[in-house]
Structure 1
Amino acid sequence: MNTAVNSTIATASATATATDPRSVVIRYVEAVRDGDAAVIHDSFAPDATWHYPGSLPSSKIWQGREAIVNDFLGGMGTVFVPGTVEIALVSVLAEGERVVAEWTSKARTVRGAAYDNRCLGIFTVREGRITSVIEYADTHHVAATLFPEDAADAANAAAG
């Protein structure tokens, strides 16, 4: 990660209030990076939503903190070799309760593939909790590395 960007993000994180939307999102991404399940869970409002667009098995609007943390995020964690996940926050822009965060995700999948994706999330934060996320990523790469059977089925259907 760019040291200047990392330093700027760290400084902003240290100087902002705990409920400032920018700080909430930075703390959340850092918790994902560090595997801090308690902070990840506490980052979300009970009625939060996470929209992961596309046609993947994980593509839908996830409703509620428990579904987001346990089913969506927890389910995605099972496709990676433990200890190989690297999350790096690239940039953060905030205006009011809306925060746009860009990060990279790298890991080795349980099938042996190299996962290397660049992601962008549009977060809404109210009263110190994330209330909604829309995440964008290279879904073709996600399909090829995390859901290869589904990608092959889709290719066969299109061809035939």
Structure 2
Amino acid sequence: MNQQDVTAASKAVVQAYMDTLMTGDMDALRGFFTPETTWTLAGDLPVSGTWTGPEEILGEFVPMMVARLVPESMELEFEGLIGEGERVLAEWNTRALARTGGRYDQHCVAVFTIREGRITSVREYFDTLHAKTVVFA
């Protein structure tokens, strides 16, 4: 496969992942990860660090964050993808009401690495100070 084909295939995987994320189907999301997939969130939040495998990513990391938000208030707005080879940058906005009463309005970017049609690593970046003040206050 040439570089252009690898890029297109990698972007297709991340687009499918984002589309599935928008539906909230956690079981379907598990299929995008390998048992060794890592998801790293920078910063010093209680959810910062590296999570490995779909059980930790979707069973621990995501619920720790979502538990602090009012689920029915959550909105995800997908902005787009930029890709080169196996690496794809995804950009989205997350908006919700925090259980603390504050309004969570977060712009997120994540660098996905795709190999053999699956996500092998993600490095996510967002405003951790906003998350700390609004969600983890």
For the criterion TM > 0.5, the same-fold answer is: yes
Q: What 5-or-longer segments of structure 1 have no aligned partner?
A: 1-15, 149-160
> Which whole-Å CA distance do the structure 1 matches of 2:62 and 2:126 have between them?
15
| Count of residues paired in the alignment | 131
> Which whole-Å CA distance do the structure 2 matches of 1:112 and 1:26 have between them?
32
Of 122, 125, 132 in structure 2, the residue corresponding to residue 136 of structure 1 is 125
> Which whole-Å CA distance do the structure 2 matches of 1:73 and 1:82 have between them?
12
Equivalence for 1:102:
91
1:93 aligns with 2:82: yes
* Residue-by-residue CA offset, 1:106-131 (whole Å, 9 max, x unaligned): 01112221100000000001111110
Kindly provide the amino acid, as one letter, of the partner of residue 85 in structure 1. Answer: M
- Identity of matched residues, %: 39
TM (norm. structure 2) is 0.89
Alpha-carbon deviation of 1:36? 1.1
> Which whole-Å CA distance do the structure 2 matches of 1:113 and 1:34 have between them?
25
* Residue-by-residue CA offset, 1:138-160 (whole Å, 9 max, x unaligned): 00101011111xxxxxxxxxxxx
Q: Which has more strand, going by share of residues? A: 2
Aligned partner of residue 31 in structure 2, secondary structure: helix
Of 39, 58, 70 in structure 1, the residue corresponding to residue 28 of structure 2 is 39
Aligned partner of residue 65 in structure 1, secondary structure: helix
Q: What 5-or-longer segments of structure 2 have no aligned partner?
A: none
1:66 aligns with 2:55: yes
Kindly provide the amino acid, as one letter, of the partner of residue 40 in structure 1. Answer: L
Aligned partner of residue 68 in structure 2, secondary structure: coil
1:147 aligns with 2:136: yes
Equivalence for 1:121:
110
TM (norm. structure 1) is 0.77
Runs of 4+ in 1 over 3 A off after TM superposition: none
> Which whole-Å CA distance do the structure 1 matches of 2:106 and 2:71 have between them?
17
Larger RCO of the pair (alpha carbons < 8 Å, separation 6+): 2
Q: Is the 8 A contact 2:76 2:92 kept in 1?
A: yes
> Which whole-Å CA distance do the structure 1 matches of 2:9 and 2:109 have between them?
19
Kindly provide the amino acid, as one letter, of the partner of residue 76 in structure 1. Answer: M
Kindly provide the amino acid, as one letter, of the partner of residue 126 in structure 2. Answer: A
C-alpha RMSD of the superposition? 1.5
Q: Answer with 1 or 2: which has the greater Rg.
A: 1
> Which whole-Å CA distance do the structure 1 matches of 2:60 and 2:47 have between them?
9
Kindly provide the amino acid, as one letter, of the partner of residue 43 in structure 2. Answer: G
